[in-house]
Amino acid sequence: MLRDKNLVLLSHQHQRALALCVRMDRAFQSGNVDVEIWQSELEQQFASEVEFHLAAEEKKVFPAAARFPELQSLVKELLAEHAMLREFFARAVARTLDAASLENYAEMLVAHIRKEERELFETMQSLMSPQELADVGAALAAAMKDCSKTCATLNDSTRPRSKA
């Protein structure tokens, strides 16, 4: 199913997070994992985008979805996963993650994003009226307006570099 325009902002952020996970996976596969650099990048990603993303989902998307009985248990799962993701970010800030934890984080994030995209968003689009989706989209735009000043994909000049 094509993503509704009112959820595209979150889907674009999901794509950036998945790209980060692909880069992490490549580092794991190559055996060249600089834990300090990855923790720094996670800290930067959280401060510049992820913190806003999680809050917007929790304040605007999840309550709208939870009105539907078919989505209530999924919303509870996603909220629990948000708590675990925040714990990973806190550990990255504290510089207490190891390579195995980083790999677990990447795997969990990919699974979480897939669940939101394939289950939550798809079901919301099938259950909600166009007006309900537009209301969610407007609420997301308002919630993310502060993020628009700081949310950006890390580019080559700002992305932390792994040691070669």
**Alpha-carbon 29 to chain mean position:** 23
Q: What is the pLDDT of residue 1?
A: 73
Q: Report the alpha-carbon distance of residue 39 to residue 132 in Å, rounded.
A: 38
Cα separation values, 145 from 13, 15, 109, 126, Å = 14, 19, 24, 27
- The pTM of the full predicted model, rounded to 2 decimals, is 0.86
Q: Report the alpha-carbon distance of residue 66 to residue 126 in Å, rounded.
A: 14
DSSP class of residue 21 equals H
Tell me the per-residue pLDDT of 75-112, one tens digit each, with 9 for 90 and over: 999 999 999 999 999 999 999 999 999 999 999 999 99
Domains for the chain: give ranges and CATH numbers: 5-147 (1.20.120.520)
Contacts of 157 (CB under 8 A, 6+ apart): none
Q: What is the pLDDT of residue 148?
A: 53
Tell me the per-residue pLDDT of 10-59, one tens digit each, with 9 for 90 and over: 999 999 999 999 999 999 999 989 999 999 999 999 988 899 999 999 99
